[in-house]
Amino acid sequence: MALGNWADVAFDLEGKPRAGVFRAPTGVRIEIYKNWVYVKRGGSVIMETASCDLNVRMVDACSTTRLVASRTDGVLFVAVLHADYSAAGQPTAFSGMVGLGCYGYEGDEWVGVREQQLEGLTAFVPVVEAAAKPKRVAVVPAVASARAWEAATDERRSEADAALEVARRRHAEARQALADMRKVRGLVRVDGDAPALTGATAGKPWSRDYPACRHCGTTERAHGGRGLCGRDYQRWMKGAIEGDY
């Protein structure tokens, strides 16, 4: 499924494709959104994160829902396992979901989910299966406990909101840079066998403020934004390049 510039894919425990949303009998809804994962209860978002190891347990229902999420190189990997138990504490039924969310463009081309990202998901699942006990346990037997949990996670939610705002701002800057590039392309026409435009035109600087790309140091590719060439700007937008550009 595609969401704007983002793509995701998900499978059930039998390897069959499914939507990237898991509704657990414990009352939580786990949803892949871009390269974040949302944990919801009722109509409220109780967690927005890209990395967690969380166990939600309903005492009276004798069931647990475990969520493990990790983001690597801008790609979110998610695994959800729900288990129901008998009165004797033996598991009686399992359900779940594994999936990923990623940026769907490579340059100006839509490519969706890449093969190497699916390979990364395949490698992620055994790690989850072999993991130790969850680092964080939340018992949610009733609405009051759910509200207490929400209060305890306010700080994490604030951090997630701030990170989301940064991502939105970068996305807006990228859209503006793309619009500017399209305007430039509309003004240029290459006749006959004349060479195509390169990053730096003879007699003109590579960009208004920088002589070359701040990351790779070359002028082979045109300026994309924030002192980076088009390729490195796209990689920075997707989180593949670290740094305050």
Could you state, in order of their start, the residue ranges of all structural domains in the chain? 2-148, 198-245
- Position 142 scores a pLDDT of 42
Q: Tokens at residue 189, please?
A: 């026409």
Our CA angle for 119, 163, 76, nearest 5°, is 10
Position 98 confidence tier, pLDDT thresholds 50, 70, 90: very high
Which residues partner with 203 through β-bridges? none
Q: Is 120 exposed, middle or buried (0-12, 13-18, 19+ CB in 10 A)?
A: middle
Q: Show Cβ contacts of residue 33 under 8 Å, excluding neighbours closer than 6 positions.
A: 3, 101
Q: 35-88 pLDDT, tens per residue? A: 899 988 887 888 888 888 777 665 445 778 888 899 988 999 999 888 888 877
Q: Which amino acid is at 47?
A: M
CA distance 242 to 63: 41
- Position 226 scores a pLDDT of 86
Q: 130-185 pLDDT, tens per residue? A: 443 333 333 433 444 455 656 666 767 778 788 888 888 888 888 888 888 877 77
- Position 203 scores a pLDDT of 62
- Position 47 scores a pLDDT of 86
